[in-house]
Amino acid sequence: MPLPAPPLPNPASIDPAPASNERAVAATRALAVGSLAALIVLGLAWELWLAPVRPGGSLLALKVLPLVLPLAGLLKRRMYTYRWVSLLVWLYFTEGVVRAWSDLQAAGRILAGIEILLCLLLFVACAWHVRTRLAHADAMRQAQRNAAAATS
């Protein structure tokens, strides 16, 4: 006597979470890369043209070099890079707060406020990205366990 074929899944019962999860990962990646690039551009423009400490630019423009390093890791989707960038960004946040509070030029205070917002955006994007990817990995492991349990 042949065994009955397993029932086909109901299309309405298929979980749409993987597709939405992939969209969330892509969105957070784009947000993280975009805010990091904007932070780099802001740092260079601020120190060289918009409100330099000395006329003609200053060596403070070199402060963006540590921000250039994680750009490749973010583009390659390296989880470790997202984690340490979420810690590195607090140094630039602190600089923004100090300069917003103490800069004598109005342009410097405005640029510091923009730096603060970009830092917060970058932190949220990195944290959300890591959390979403870890949740997706947990869901995939659970699905594999369920599939293995169903076949045994």
CA–CA distance, 129 with 35 (Å, rounded to integer): 13
Tokens of 37: 């690039």
> Mean pLDDT, to the nearest integer, of 40-66?
87
- On whether residue 8 sits in a domain, the answer given is no
- On whether residue 10 sits in a domain, the answer given is no
Query: For 55-113, what is each residue's pLDDT tens digit?
Result: 767 788 899 999 999 999 999 999 999 999 999 999 999 999 999 999 888 999 999 99
- On whether residue 12 sits in a domain, the answer given is no
CA–CA distance, 118 with 128 (Å, rounded to integer): 15
Q: Distance between terminal CA atoms of the chain?
A: 20
> Mean pLDDT, to the nearest integer, of 21-47?
94
- On whether residue 65 sits in a domain, the answer given is no
- On whether residue 88 sits in a domain, the answer given is yes
- On whether residue 105 sits in a domain, the answer given is yes
Q: What is the mean pLDDT of the chain?
A: 87
- On whether residue 68 sits in a domain, the answer given is no
Quote the pTM value.
Answer: 0.81
CA–CA distance, 22 with 136 (Å, rounded to integer): 8
- On whether residue 6 sits in a domain, the answer given is no
pLDDT band at 51 (very low <50, low <70, confident <90, very high): confident
| Domain around 105 | 18-55+73-151
